[in-house]
Amino acid sequence: MISLSVNGEARKLEVDPATPLLWVLRDTLGLTGTKYSCGIAVCGSCTVHVDGTPVRACVTPLSAVANKSITTIEGLSKDSSHPVQRAWLALDVPQCGYCQSGQIMTAVALLAKNPKPTDADIDQAMSGVLCRCGTYSRIRRAIKQAAELQSKGGAT
Amino acid sequence: MNDLTAPECINESRRHFLKIGAVAGGGLLIGFHLPLASRAGEAEAAASEFVPNAWIRIDTDDSVTLRVASSEMGQGVYTAIPMLLAEELECDWARIKVEMAPADKAYTNPLIGQQLTGGSTAVRAFWTPLRQAGATGRDLLIRAAAQTWKVKEDECRAENGVVVHKTSQRKARYGELAALAATLPVPSEVFLKEPGEFKLIGKSTPRLDTPRKVNGSAVFGMDVKLPGLLTAVVARCPVFGGKPRKFDATKAKSIAGVRQVLAIQSGIAVVADNFWAAKQGRDALVLEWDEGANAKQNSTGIRKQLEDALKKKTVSARHEGDTAKAFKAAAKRIEAVYEVPYLAHACMEPMNCTALVKPDSCELWVPTQGQTGAQLVASKITGLPPEKVKVNTTFLGGGFGRRGEQDFVAEAVELAKATSAPVKLIWTREDDMQHDYYRPATLNRLSAALDKQGLPIAWQHEIAGASIFARVFPNSIKDGIDRTSVEGAANLPYAIPNLQVTWSMDNGAVPVGFWRSVGSTQNAYVTECFLDELAAAAGKDPYAFRRTLLAKHPRHLGVLELAAQKAGWGNSLPSGRARGIAVAESFGSYCAQVADVSVERGQVRVQRVVCAIDCGMVVNPDTIVAQMESGIVYGLTAALKGEITIQDGRVVQSNFHDYPLLRLDEMPEIEVHIVKSSEHPGGVGEPGTPPIAPAVANAVFAATGKPVRRLPIRV
């Protein structure tokens, strides 16, 4: 039995503790917003927050997050009102959309730590999250817009 | 804006394909059989006729449901197709509902002849018929209002889901009029708006799928949930064409959650309660493969085969003038060999399909570009007629041509049939990378002759590679030519009086398929780079050289000049920077790009790309900008990084660590300029890709003085 909090809800899970968090979220808890793409922590599509820090859920065993607090894309806001989501909407960032949960969760973590990121900061934080559709220019712009929104008190 | 006398009148033969019908409870349905799916006799539509596969549904509560028959894989059809319908229907855009169409002949893509999203055709194919369907709806609703109010139709106009009587200002909502409209005969003629009257088309419109793509609720194939759903992972022979010789499933079956281990056509499947159990089960299989005839294949051998093919098996794709004579008269002769590697599609969402097979029906939930193909392959495996196969198209986590294939659908249907349970088949990233239908590797021999003025008088381009059509549409190979293999080469636009393009088909063991922009992806690179070699040999500026040779191609010239002007072609660059240009026509659109690059310590960095696109009339401008950005990034990954190699009959690369994609920190600044045009719409999903590799390679040539004759670029 492993206890953890997922999007603010306490969970007790009878799952093999070696199971990657990604598959616990998707298959056990039905939270399919977090995506599988590479399975080896090189693409970032599965990024979630563990106690506020972005981690690659595809290589994080459930045992490593016992008693920790997980936030997934579904838990970011109830109504897509997080400044990052609002900026993503305003700039129509996604194309196919598959990598976007990972992009958004990584961007949220960046802005939480660094409310006014420079281009170099954005490069460093975001370059490990791959997008095959080429939404990178919009991601960069949206992060800057989200930073603006956040500074105006839009943080959730 | 309410004028219905616009001159684009639908001709008699087309209007007959429209059908209208009533929804139980008093709504209106508008659908049609497209010409390819119809016979003259069945076309006369009657009032109240059941329209099972409509494009438009108007309910009494005023809700308007628009159907999209093209797959949304990022290119924006989920918004663009409803825009076509809504523009003419004059419904309230803010209140429409959109749903994916099922597989049905009524949704046949008229440019392809089946329900398939590919070839950048969605808007091009449905541009007229869907506006016609919308206009028919508007016309019926106006007539219903006129009848109700006992006034003339031309005294009424439709706007935002309401019909208004112009003089009395009486109003009726579409939902109130739908029941009566459904009883009226299909109009004998409908008029389409003139472009100047468009309210939606041509205006940047927020994508309808974005809200679901920022909160995790968009359902991709991977995300399908069904009661009792099992998950399957398949072990396939790593060598192309190999088969299992024997396997031991004892260990696999001992893993908690593993239900069954089954031999299917493509390999050994482990079916389990969830993905992780299935994957662990697969890892625990003890497998012995019969690797078959291809076990000794490798990339060097494949290249040698292409060299041999160039020597012997040539057919002509285009021949003008007398190249042999021109070469004899040449002041200068230039020769080069160009080559490109195999490429994987690498959609971010690995291949997957969910299937449920019952004795009398089959249902699929699948991120597919090919609904008709999915239906047919499921029909073949289950023995059910195609119409008993229901296809639910989910969002696609990338397509790029890969999802027009049916290999993953076949596996899922086989497994669902064998287990009598709903099964979600999931490919791992490694499966996806190593069992793709790759962009063909090609070898190209080029020679050209220049006259004393430095103008080209002869061009010879010999291409060798594998044919995609040979596998998927063998009947479409005409006179030995797979047109997709020579597109972008045989249609060379430059004024060169003596010209020959030949093709040598060599279908090896490596399966090949449609990869974003298909033949144009490699042929634009080869021809546009070789053209820069000619310009260099002639001592001319590559942009000026192209302009001279494109005098009779105004649309090529238009984008070329626009891109050059916006990029500041001819202005001096900061030190360490160089600039390249390329232009290509593909999928009915014209695209030119100028790339600024720096080459430092063996690294090519693309700093800026200026893109000019002429795709005819524009539906959603912001989507076109996004698609150009997208095509450029896809092509940049190929130009700078992409290479699939073969060793011992298998793909060497397995995941993004050894098949890397362009990253955010490598993203150039991209500027997109759209040419204002009144031409029929062209494609936008693919035309951004062909010019980028040659624009970058030509910039590298300018920087280093060495032509780039092989991709990916290595300096």
Choose the closest CB to A139 out of B276, B396, B664: B664
pLDDT for the residue B39: 36
Domains observed in chain A: 2-73 (3.10.20.30), 83-154 (1.10.150.120)
Opening angle at CA B617, ends B612 and B619, nearest 5? 95
The yes-or-no verdict on residue B10 having pLDDT over 70 is: no
Choose the closest CB to B214 out of A16, A80, A136: A80
d(CA B142, CA B158) in angstroms, rounded, equals: 7
Domain B221-292+351-426 sits in CATH at 3.30.365.10
The yes-or-no verdict on residue B44 having pLDDT over 60 is: no
The yes-or-no verdict on residue B49 having pLDDT over 60 is: no
d(CA B511, CA A117) in angstroms, rounded, equals: 45
Listed residue (B234, B518, B261, B235) closest to B353, CA to CA = B234
The yes-or-no verdict on residue A103 having pLDDT over 90 is: yes
| Average pLDDT value over all residues in chain B | 93
Interface of B with A in 596-615 (CB under 8 A): none
Q: pLDDT tens, B261-288?
A: 999 999 999 999 999 999 999 999 999 9
Choose the closest CB to B214 out of A27, A35, A104: A104
- Which of B209, B214, B274, B396 would you mutate first to test chain A, the one with the most A CBs within 10 A? B214
pLDDT for the residue B280: 98
- ipTM value greater than 0.95: yes
Positions of E strands within chain A: 2-6, 9-13, 47-50, 53-56, 69-71
* Confidence band for B20, pLDDT divided at 50, 70 and 90: confident
Report residue A96 as tokens: 């196919």
Choose the closest CB to B667 out of A26, A104, A137: A137
DSSP for B510-554, written as a single string: S-B---TTHHHHHHHHHHHHHHHHHHHHHT--HHHHHHHHTTT-H
pLDDT for the residue B50: 53
For A58, name the nearest residue in chain B, comparing CA atoms only.
B276
State the architecture of B299-343+438-704 in CATH terms.
Answer: 2-Layer Sandwich (3.30)
> Is any Cβ of chain A less than 8 angstroms from the Cβ of B410?
no
pLDDT for the residue A154: 53
Residue intervals in chain B for CATH 3.30.365.10: 8-207, 221-292+351-426, 299-343+438-704
pLDDT for the residue B33: 57
CB B485 within 8 A of CB B472: no
Q: Which amino acid is at B18?
A: L
Instruction: Provide the whole-model pTM.
Output: 0.95
The yes-or-no verdict on residue A155 having pLDDT over 60 is: no
pLDDT cut 70: percent of chain B above it: 95
Other Cβ atoms less than 10 A from the Cβ of A38: the count is: 25
- Which of B215, B231, B428 would you mutate first to test chain A, the one with the most A CBs within 10 A? B215
Size of interface A-B (CB pairs under 8 A): 184
For A139, name the nearest residue in chain B, comparing CA atoms only.
B664
State whether B664 and A72 contact (CB < 8 Å).
no
| Average pLDDT value over all residues in chain A | 97
- Which of A49, A74, A96 would you mutate first to test chain B, the one with the most B CBs within 10 A? A96
State whether B212 and A40 contact (CB < 8 Å).
no
> Is any Cβ of chain A less than 8 angstroms from the Cβ of B365?
no
The yes-or-no verdict on residue B40 having pLDDT over 90 is: no
d(CA B464, CA B182) in angstroms, rounded, equals: 57
Q: From the CA of A115, how many Å to the nearest CA of chain B?
A: 19
CB A150 within 8 A of CB A85: no
Q: pLDDT tens, B655-712?
A: 999 999 999 999 999 999 999 999 999 999 999 999 999 999 999 999 999 999 999 9
The yes-or-no verdict on residue B37 having pLDDT over 80 is: no
CB B378 within 8 A of CB B362: yes
**DSSP label at residue B478:** B
pLDDT cut 90: percent of chain A above it: 97
3-state secondary structure B143-168: HHHHHHHCCCHHHEEEECCEEEECCC
pLDDT for the residue A143: 98
d(CA B465, CA B481) in angstroms, rounded, equals: 11
For B280, name the nearest residue in chain A, comparing CA atoms only.
A19
Q: pLDDT tens, A46-76?
A: 999 999 999 999 999 999 999 999 999 999 9
State whether B220 and A136 contact (CB < 8 Å).
no
- Which of A62, A77, A92 would you mutate first to test chain B, the one with the most B CBs within 10 A? A92
Interface of B with A in 183-242 (CB under 8 A): 206-207, 209-220, 222-223, 225, 231
The yes-or-no verdict on residue B18 having pLDDT over 90 is: no
CB B374 within 8 A of CB B406: yes
State whether B213 and A38 contact (CB < 8 Å).
no
The yes-or-no verdict on residue B532 having pLDDT over 60 is: yes
Which has more pLDDT, B129 or B250? B250
* Confidence band for B46, pLDDT divided at 50, 70 and 90: very low
State whether A134 and B669 contact (CB < 8 Å).
no
State whether A32 and B213 contact (CB < 8 Å).
no
Provide, for chain B, the percentages of residues in helix, strand and coil under a 3-state DSSP scheme, each rounded to the nearest 5. 35, 25, 40
Q: Which helix (H) or strand (E) holds B8?
A: strand B8-9
Q: Which helix (H) or strand (E) holds B371?
A: helix B371-382
pLDDT for the residue B24: 79
Which has more pLDDT, B508 or B417? B417
pLDDT for the residue B490: 97
pLDDT for the residue B17: 67
Average pLDDT of the residues in B414-423 = 98
For A133, name the nearest residue in chain B, comparing CA atoms only.
B630
pLDDT for the residue B106: 87
Q: Which fold has domain B8-207?
A: Aldehyde Oxidoreductase; domain 4 (3.30.365)
State whether A133 and B398 contact (CB < 8 Å).
yes
Average pLDDT of the residues in B198-227 = 98
Q: What is the largest CA-CA distance in chain A?
A: 44
Q: pLDDT tens, B52-63?
A: 688 999 999 999
- Which of B207, B209, B213 would you mutate first to test chain A, the one with the most A CBs within 10 A? B213
Q: pLDDT tens, B290-349?
A: 999 999 999 999 999 999 999 987 899 999 999 999 999 999 999 999 999 999 999 999
Q: pLDDT tens, B600-613?
A: 888 999 999 999 99
